[in-house]
Amino acid sequence: MPEQETPEPEPTGDGAVDGAAETEKQIAELEDSWRRTAAELDNVRKRCAKDVIRAREQERAWVAARWLPVLDNLERALEHASSDPDQIVEGVRAVHQQALAVLADLGYPRRDDETGKAFDPAHHEAVSTVTGDDLVPGTVAHVVRPGYGTDGEILRPASVVVATRSA
């Protein structure tokens, strides 16, 4: 809806001359309102394009910054590697858990426990098939590479080996 109310055409008054002047004024006001709304439309379009670019940049920086502590800890684990090689495994395991936590926090948890579930092309990507007496055909026999995301938003489907009926 217009921000300003459209002036209602006033009933033409006393004389024809007054009426004509009134009408001309009304037309001029309408044209002015229209032009201003059109200019605002143009501004909003331009501003929107800038807002979208800025939103992307901000989000990129925000998400990238979440990984810096993971990198810091990875470097710390490597620094201690030469002095105590056994310690690095524990350190890297902790970094791995931290990385999973960052992803989950961004809305993309690791999708575990896919083995045995019915194959679902929305969540799984079949990389090969396998047959076996203890396998239910059409289910995930083995996860080759884990998937990430929620049911509503899959960031990456899990790469899986699918059980099939033996020939």
Where along the sequence are the contacts to its own copies (CB under 8 A)?
1-3, 6, 9, 16, 23-24, 26-27, 30-31, 33-35, 37-42, 44-45, 47-48, 51-52, 55-56, 58-61, 63-65, 67-68, 70-72, 74-75, 77-78, 81, 85-86, 88-89, 92-93, 95-96, 99-100, 102-103, 106-108, 145, 148, 153, 155-156
Tracing tokens 């033409």 back to the chain, one arrives at 12
Contacts of 156 by beta carbon, 8 Å cutoff, 6+ apart: 147, 148, 149
Tell me how far the alpha carbon of residue 151 is from its chain's centroid: 14
Residues composing the chain = 167
Give whichever of 109 and 137 is closer to its own copies, judged by the CB atom: 109
Q: How far is the CB of 107 from its own copies (least distance, A)?
A: 7
Residue 41 CB, nearest approach to its own copies (Å): 5
Nearer to its own copies, 67 or 117 (CB): 67
Q: In terms of CB distance, is 71 or 130 closer to its own copies?
A: 71
Cβ atoms of 160 and 119 within 8 Å: the answer is yes
CB distance 124 to 142 below 8 Å = no
H helices within 12-116, ranges in order? 16-65, 68-79, 85-105
Least CB distance to its own copies at residue 138 (A): 26
Q: Backbone phi, then psi, for 87, in 5-degree steps?
A: -65, -30
Nearest to its own copies of 1, 167 (CB atom): 1
